[in-house]
Amino acid sequence: MQVALVGIGKIALDQHVPAITSSPDWVLAATVSRHGGVGGVPAYTDFAALLAERQDIRVISLCLPPVPRFAYAAAALKAGRHVMLEKPPGATLSECHALEGLARAGRLSLYATWHSREAAQVAAAKAWLADKALRHLSVTWKEDVRRWHPGQDWIWEPGGLGVFDPGINALSIVTAILPEPIHLTAATLSFPDNRQTPIAADLRFHHPGGAEVSAVFDWRQEGDQTWTIKAVTDAGTLTLTDGGAQMAVDGVRAAAQDDAPLTGEYPRLYSKMARLVQAGGIDMDLSPMRHVADAFTLGRRVTVAPFHW
């Protein structure tokens, strides 16, 4: 199938392009961007022109920042195209619900992707936890914003999510592996004095079985990056590290893991999108985004030192 990639930035070049070009399901037929492109692939600067001129391209993959994404996704759906959304799927929950309504009305496929759910050991962790009684779960997600989002000021503007841009990856794993749903009860959000979105967050959740569930996100980490989820149960302790790429139970590392952290996620996303298009399916799970919205609703705001690139 032919796919057009919209928004040729770091994530598109690092992850989407290699996943598409190595896939047996897809051909990268065009790109849309004001500033970038992919060698040998027809490039557009105007999305409306692509939709008008390339009726043969039935699938659009959107890698734009969250705030402008709704207009592009809505235009694509109204033009009868299937749509794949980079995480988070929109700037607001209402936008996402509106897009799902358009997709259902047009009998089109729509996929809100959560790439961290496709990390190597997430499925194994879900299976292991399925019959365990959870006592405690903690998330520690600390990384260096300068390394992963160099100079990207949009993440500090309203709708950019700040530290929840990576933090939502952790929430996507937690909501996938826990057999029972949780909901937020308290949050402390640290806002740099000169920015509109938080640089750190401390979250607490209600678990229906009474387990203690918490998460700490921080974008000021230097040196080694930390992407860890630890679940203490009645039958042992499960630890996911490297963003879900590695798993251990009671300190014993699980087998059949990827050698490098965070590999294979995007090829699996595109494989799933191919299956959704072939079956006419929709996958718009918004549970990770709902926790973020609740954090902004319940969060106690504290001001911290200004952030400068």
Catalytic residues: 87
Q: 171, 121 in Cβ contact below 8 A?
A: no
DSSP 8-state code for residue 156: G
DSSP state of 12: I
Q: How many CB atoms lie within 10 A of CB 222?
A: 10
Q: Which helix (H) or strand (E) holds 73?
A: helix 66-78
User: Which of 210, 225, 191 minimizes the C-alpha distance to 301?
Assistant: 191
Beta-carbon count within 10 A of 51 CB: 21
Give the integer Cα–Cα distance in Å for 195 and 309.
12
Pairing type for strands 246-249 and 236-241 reads antiparallel
Q: Report residue 307 as tokens.
A: 């952030």
Three-point CA angle 141, 146, 150, nearest 5°: 125
> Based on C-alpha coordinates, what's the Rg of the chain?
19
Tell me the backbone φ, ψ of residue 248, rounded to 5 degrees.
-135, 145
| Residue 62: strand pairing partners | 6, 85
